[in-house]
């Protein structure tokens, strides 16, 4: 029977959660890299035993770990992330120019077909690539070097490149998102980039429909239909049907359209999931009720999914990289909270169970569907 491997990054280490296809009984491994912040762990689609992890700490900076055996053992690989050329400046919180400074890797996106190739989205916002299994990293500088780059400003969480989507149909096309610059698209394997933010409205910036400056929290795509993109923005859930050329709001009847993660059902490209959060000032679910909202119409019409989730006194958050779906016949949906819970639904969100309840704050959740 096939199974799943859930990769959870937390404030104090990484955890590997495994189960068979029933997703009822779980084996918990960890903490790996105990005490370190693990922003992201992700497996290669081309080789599920190849995993990459972003490990960091305020004392000792960035480490990248690699596993070649599905997380049973790990080896530190290259951790030198040097911006290409003279880094230049972006805007600081006070509006003054601030030199680009590497802080940490937020997101690792392995190539779709080469286990040794992996992309890294970093803070201060930049995109790096390794073609040797993480031993060395080279910047793809045209993204950060876009003419708007000097005007980019960090969001409250830092100026992070947090989303990297690789188009499985139009090879070489990729999408990236930066808080708080917006969404960007490359059609040439990251060599050149352009902003794709037409249709976004953000009240927190001087020009609400500016080309850049939007605080995009997350992008999602179904692999069978990469022209359709979904976005959870600081406020607003958005949809594009033309590869990001334009966007329209699909927040519909959500109780709040503020939130962080967004994801797409593995087998139903029009079924999407978000976790509404009260507001930018109150990073917890409305009314203290932890509800995943599902739309089976690609947005606009949403239903709350509550079975098995706490419906009172719940004041956790679900961060942008902390939701994932598996590809089993009955699609599994997973998310982790800042309260240390990792929840699973083995029935597309109809019902939920905690896999674990008391981990450190969960920063990221990925899942691998194993043969």
Q: Residue 79 CB, nearest distance to other proteins (Å)?
A: 5
Q: Indicate the residue among 82 and 224 with the shorter CB distance to other proteins.
A: 82
Among 82, 48, 45, 43, residue whose Cα is nearest residue 62: 82
Among 131, 69, 78, 133, residue whose Cα is nearest residue 105: 78
Residue 366 to residue 336: CA distance in whole angstroms: 10
**Would you tell me which residues interact with other proteins (CB under 8 A)?**
33-36, 57-63, 76, 79-80, 82
Q: Indicate the residue among 136 and 253 with the shorter CB distance to other proteins.
A: 136
Q: Residue 61 CB, nearest distance to other proteins (Å)?
A: 6
Q: Residue 77 CB, nearest distance to other proteins (Å)?
A: 9
Count how many residues are written for the chain: 371
**199 is written with which tokens?**
């249709």
Q: Indicate the residue among 62 and 163 with the shorter CB distance to other proteins.
A: 62
Q: How many CB atoms lie within 10 A of CB 213?
A: 23
Which DSSP state fits 367? E
Q: Residue 366 CB, nearest distance to other proteins (Å)?
A: 23
Q: Indicate the residue among 76 and 204 with the shorter CB distance to other proteins.
A: 76
Q: What letters, b where the CB count within 10 A reaches 16 and e where it falls short, cover 63-72?
A: bbbbbeebbe
Q: Residue 336 CB, nearest distance to other proteins (Å)?
A: 23
SS3 readout for 148-212: CHHHCCCECCECEEEEEEECCCCCCCEEEEEECCEEEEECCCCCCCEECCCCCCCCCCCCCCCCC
**Terminal-to-terminal C-alpha distance of the chain:** 8
Q: Indicate the residue among 103 and 211 with the shorter CB distance to other proteins.
A: 103
Q: Indicate the residue among 35 and 172 with the shorter CB distance to other proteins.
A: 35
Q: Indicate the residue among 77 and 219 with the shorter CB distance to other proteins.
A: 77
Alpha helix segments (H runs only) across the chain: 141-144
Q: Indicate the residue among 73 and 253 with the shorter CB distance to other proteins.
A: 73
Q: Residue 49 CB, nearest distance to other proteins (Å)?
A: 21
Residue 319 to residue 301: CA distance in whole angstroms: 23
Q: What is the CA radius of gyration of the chain?
A: 19
Q: Residue 82 CB, nearest distance to other proteins (Å)?
A: 8
Q: Residue 80 CB, nearest distance to other proteins (Å)?
A: 5
């Amino acid at each position: 029977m096939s199974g799943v491997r859930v990769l959870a990054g937390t404030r104090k280490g990484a955890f590997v959660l495994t189960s068979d296809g029933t997703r009822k009984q779980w084996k918990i491994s960890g903490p790996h890299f105990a005490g370190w912040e693990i922003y992201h762990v992700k497996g290669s689609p081309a080789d599920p035993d190849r995993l990459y992890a972003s490990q960091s700490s305020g004392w000792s900076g960035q480490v990248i770990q690699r596993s070649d055996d599905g997380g049973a053992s790990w080896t530190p690989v290259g951790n030198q992330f040097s911006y290409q050329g003279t880094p230049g400046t972006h805007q600081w919180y006070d509006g003054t120019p601030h030199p680009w400074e590497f802080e940490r890797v937020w997101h690792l996106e392995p190539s779709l077909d080469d286990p040794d190739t992996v992309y890294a989205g970093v803070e201060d916002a930049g995109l790096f690539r390794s073609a040797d299994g993480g031993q060395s990293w080279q910047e793809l500088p045209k993204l950060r070097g876009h003419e708007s780059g000097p005007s980019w400003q960090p969001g409250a969480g830092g100026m992070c490149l947090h989303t990297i989507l690789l188009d499985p149909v139009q090879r070489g096309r990729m999408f990236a998102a930066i808080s708080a610059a917006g969404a960007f698209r490359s059609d040439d394997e990251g060599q050149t980039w352009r902003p794709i933010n037409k249709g976004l409205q953000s009240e927190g910036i001087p020009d609400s429909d500016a080309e850049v400056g939007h605080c995009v929290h997350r992008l999602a795509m179904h692999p069978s239909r990469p022209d359709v993109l979904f976005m959870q923005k600081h406020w607003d859930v958005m949809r594009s049907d033309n590869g990001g050329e334009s966007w329209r709001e699909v927040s519909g009847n959500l109780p709040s359209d503020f939130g962080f993660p967004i994801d797409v059902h593995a087998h139903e490209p029009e079924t999407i999931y978000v976790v509404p959060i009260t507001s930018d000032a109150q990073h917890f679910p409305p009314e203290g009720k932890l509800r995943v909202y599902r739309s089976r119409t690609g947005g606009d019409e949403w239903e709350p999914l509550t079975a098995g989730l706490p419906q009172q006194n719940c004041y956790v958050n679900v961060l942008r990289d902390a939701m994932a779906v598996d590809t089993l016949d009955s699609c599994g949906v997973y998310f982790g909270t800042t309260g240390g819970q990792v929840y699973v639904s083995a029935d597309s969100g109809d019902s939920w169970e905690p896999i674990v309840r008391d981990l450190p704050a969960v920063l990221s959740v990925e899942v691998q569907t194993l043969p």
